[in-house]
Amino acid sequence: GAVVSQHPSRVICKSGTSVKIECRSLDFQATTMFWYRQFPKQSLMLMATSNEGSKATYEQGVEKDKFLINHASLTLSTLTVTSAHPEDSSFYICSAPDGGDTQYFGPGTRLTVL
């Protein structure tokens, strides 16, 4: 079946640095992908919609300059956390619909900012 991968699965960085997380649809094309954030023992919060060939759409309260999203191709979306701080530490999950009625979620990326 369809698979969505994320890289890296886990990253630790120093405060003030930027971190890039990749989301790939491995065997299908996705014109749209979604990025979620999940704090420990909490639900997934939708951060933004990544659109291939156009700007991402951010949810209310999400800083677009902080969380840069680029949908470079029909199989790749990247989320860059700029000038990361400890409060950005979280679990980031991407998802991609297959064009039908099924959406696939990536395994997530654990970001820890020291």
Residues making contact with another protein (CB under 8 A): 32, 34, 36, 41-46, 49, 93, 95, 97, 101-103, 105-108
Whichever of 17 and 42 has its CB closer to another protein, that residue is: 42
- Closest approach, Cβ 76 to another protein, in A, equals 18
Whichever of 33 and 84 has its CB closer to another protein, that residue is: 33
- Closest approach, Cβ 1 to another protein, in A, equals 11
3 touches 95 (CB < 8 A): no
Whichever of 14 and 61 has its CB closer to another protein, that residue is: 61
Whichever of 19 and 108 has its CB closer to another protein, that residue is: 108
- Closest approach, Cβ 70 to another protein, in A, equals 19
User: H/E/C letters for each residue in the chain?
Assistant: CCCEEEECCEEEECCCCCEEEEEEECCCCCCEEEEEEECCCCCEEEEEEEECCCCCEECCCCCCCCEEEEEEECCEEEEEECCCCHHHCEEEEEEEECCCCCEEECCCEEEEEC
